[in-house]
Chains A and B, each alone.
Chain A
Amino acid sequence: MELVEWNDSFSVGNVLMDAHHRIFFETIKEFSKFPNKNDHEAIRKRIEFLIEYAAMHLGAEERLMRQANYPDIDEHKATHEAFVRELLSVKESFDKDPSSVTADAIMKIMQDWLVHHIAGSDKRYMPYVQNMQGLAH
């Protein structure tokens, strides 16, 4: 699996969201190096943690967009909901039959979504959030 390194082009102009995103990348990287790929229980725990973390992050991002009066919040939330559904579906497949989907494939789904979501959807709320932060200072 090719790992993506964080760089400033991923910044959405908000310290907390940048921190969330960066930790997401770093944890995916850390878990993808987990040596015991056949230890399904250990892999399952890591997948569950990443889903829990993703849900926390998406909720925080939606709160921020609401505070910034981002007009396309409903569309953005729909992409979050689709991602959570995808993660839960992959996890369900893993729970039923751990040989049906590899840990790497799950990490890759998360990393790819993060890269495309930040570069696409997240960047669109950036001016609204920066405007809000500018007004607050």
Chain B
Amino acid sequence: MTIDIRVRDHAARITMSGRFDFEVHRDFKNAYMTLLDKGAVREIEIEMSKVNYLDSAALGMLMLLHDRAKDAQKKVSLLNASSESMQVMEIANFSKIFTIKIGV
């Protein structure tokens, strides 16, 4: 798994590649915590097109981000998740909780 962070204007994009599972939880948290502290960042996008595996802990990590971003008054969007990842995320109704964008 690699994690890449790009900040452009008011949006920050975290690109996840490979296995998005418990093993990356510390790196994922470090990545978004620095962005939550940045006043200029209003939206955090998680780019997921290169994620080839997603486990339940990853859903928990995304939910922790959702909660903390709400506290920091920032939006979270999940971008370009594969149909397999979407299937896992729909276990917890993510499409009703997160902004999900495909093809961006």
Contacts and interface: CB of A to CB of B under 8 A. Distances in A.
B22 interface: yes
A19 B91 CA distance: 8
Chain A to chain B: the 10 pairs with minimum beta-carbon distance, closest first? A26-B56, A19-B92, A27-B56, A30-B56, A23-B59, A15-B96, A56-B67, A53-B60, A23-B60, A22-B92
B85 to A, nearest CB: 15
A21 B64 CA distance: 13
B55 interface: yes
A64 to B, nearest CB: 12
* Interface size range of chain B in the complex: 10 to 19
A118 B55 CA distance: 23
Contacts of A15: 93, 96-97
Contact of B64 (A16, A18, A46, A52): A52
Interface in B46-104: 55-57, 59-60, 63-64, 67-68, 91-94, 96-97
Interface of B: 22, 25, 55-57, 59-60, 63-64, 67-68, 91-94, 96-97
A29 interface: yes
Given A22-B92, A27-B59, A60-B67, 11 more contacts: A18-B92, A19-B94, A24-B60, A26-B91, A27-B56, A31-B22, A31-B57, A45-B22, A49-B25, A49-B57, A53-B64
A53 B64 CA distance: 7
A44 interface: no
A18 B92 CA distance: 8
A49 B91 CA distance: 20
A20 interface: yes
Contact of B57 (A20, A22, A27, A59): A27
B63 A56 contact: yes
A60 to B, nearest CB: 6
A22 B91 contact: yes
B63 A20 contact: yes
A19 B56 contact: no
